[in-house]
Amino acid sequence: MSIKPRVWACVLGAVLATPSAAQAPLSSIDWLTPQTQTDRMPGTVLREPPVAQGVENQEIQVTPLEALKQPLGLVASSTTGLPLDLWEASDSQTISRLMAQVPVEPHAAMQSLLFTLILSETRAPAGPYAEETLLLARLDRLLTLGATDPAQALAQLAGPLDSRARFARWFDATLLTGDEDTSCAALLMEQHLSAGYDAPIFCLARAGDWETAALLLESAHTLELLPPAQLALLDRYLSPDIFEGAPPLPTPQNPDPLTFRLFETIGERLPTAPLPRMFATADLRDVAGWKAQIEAAERLTRVGALHPNHLLGLYTERRPAASGGTWDRVRALQQFDAALTTGSAAAVTKTLPAVWSAMRSVGLEVAFAELFSQRLAPVQLAGDTAKLAWQIRLLSTDYEAVSKARPDDTTDTMFLVSLANGQAARTLATTPFSRAVAQGFSADAIIPDALRTLLDQGRLGETILRAMILFDHGAKGNLNALTDALATFRFVGLEDTARRAALQLVLLERR
């Protein structure tokens, strides 16, 4: 299996970040650093068994052990810190529903956590169809988020030819990443994997077998095996000379990846902006213009599906030739990047507010912080610019170290310092929102009874997903839900997730 660079940009960039919370590490993943909670742990449970007073012969009962399902994931459990049995005690349908529904935009900490849950090596719950159900749910959410490379890699790892449903997801992913020759070769060997005639016709033509493709298309026309719009599209795909000079085909309302690629092939490429996010991946290829590539990269970076370095490379690729919108963001970032290169505090002071405003306008604050936090550190800034730079750097994975170089001792600043260190002093909280955040970090914070029950039943993954939904409710104004979510994250060892999520809420006011 060959995993493309964008896969590791998304996966390893999100999963292998350096932990910043100062405590005993649960793993090497930064936002799964645990908190030590010895005060919450039960007393000793391993006691010496009582000594028998006599010997009694008892009948030995033998029960066959069910073979454990093989764990599946792109990132080892030892790396993510999540157990292999993360889902085993839950119902696969429930997990699939929660995985599809849990909201993560615009919360970068939740995005990172969801990618970790999906990509970590885990076993499926018990049940005859549970393994397939959970796998398809993981693939569907990856595709929804636009993480097509990880979806393709996970499907390949699971075995994309084992069912039609797996192959359909894999085929869609390869069409968007430009790796369709691989999936087409597999389809031509196992044609039963296709649910229709359009994919075999496309793949036969890709392989150079135009006669068979034409014969199959003629059969589809005669037997009306495909919708008229799809037949018209395939006609132009196989016989472009006949339709030279013909008016463009009507734009489809909800194209699938194959329809999208067919339109691209006949020279009528569809814009990806109105389409679901997974189509943005197609604009990262060289067939799209520079502006389209930038906007697609922004769209994917905003949900954590693309590493910020890829976006930075596009931003700095060349000089913008126009102004307004995208070009203003490109120009602002290039000027700031040049100012950092010179090391001039005056130049950074002049360019930082403008680029920060540009990044905020498209929801890329956290990505910007990750890109420039370390380069901002040595620049000697003063006044409001120094405070802005410090707050920006608090959004990076280095937040705990950054907090030690606070720009002033105001109440708001000291509250952020306490939050970055996992304390969130309630005495420094000045609003109902900050008090709700502080309560989630207090020593007496308790998790909801419903979530504690799930934990007692061993349903850790389900608990985390439900806590993520609570966090979204909290960000929208339900302060009790916010406190409960933060307390739950900390209780299960997601200390770094709790800190970063809270810092992002407070600093970016996304509520």
- Give the pLDDT score at 372: 98
Q: How far apart are CA 333 and CA 315, in angstroms?
A: 7
How far from chain centre, in Å, is Cα 369? 18
DSSP characters over 272-293 = STTS-GGGGGGGGSTTS-HHHH
Q: Where are the domains of the chain?
A: 326-508
pLDDT of residue 342: 95
Can you list the positions of beta strands (E) in 407-473? none
DSSP structure string for 377-409: TTS---HHHHHHHHHHHHTSTTHHHHHTT-S--
Sorted by sequence, the CB contacts under 8 Å of residue 309 that are 6+ apart come out as 9, 13, 371
Q: Which residues contact 497 (CB under 8 A, 6 or more apart)?
A: 31, 32, 109, 112, 113, 489
pTM over 0.85: yes
| pLDDT of the residue at 414 | 96
User: 248 vs 117, 198, 266, 325, 350, CA distance in Å?
Assistant: 44, 20, 10, 29, 49
pLDDT mean values, one per 10 residues, the chain (511 residues): 44 45 35 35 31 48 59 96 96 98 96 98 94 98 98 98 97 97 96 94 97 97 96 97 94 96 96 96 92 97 97 96 93 98 97 98 97 97 97 97 96 96 91 95 95 98 98 96 98 97 91 51
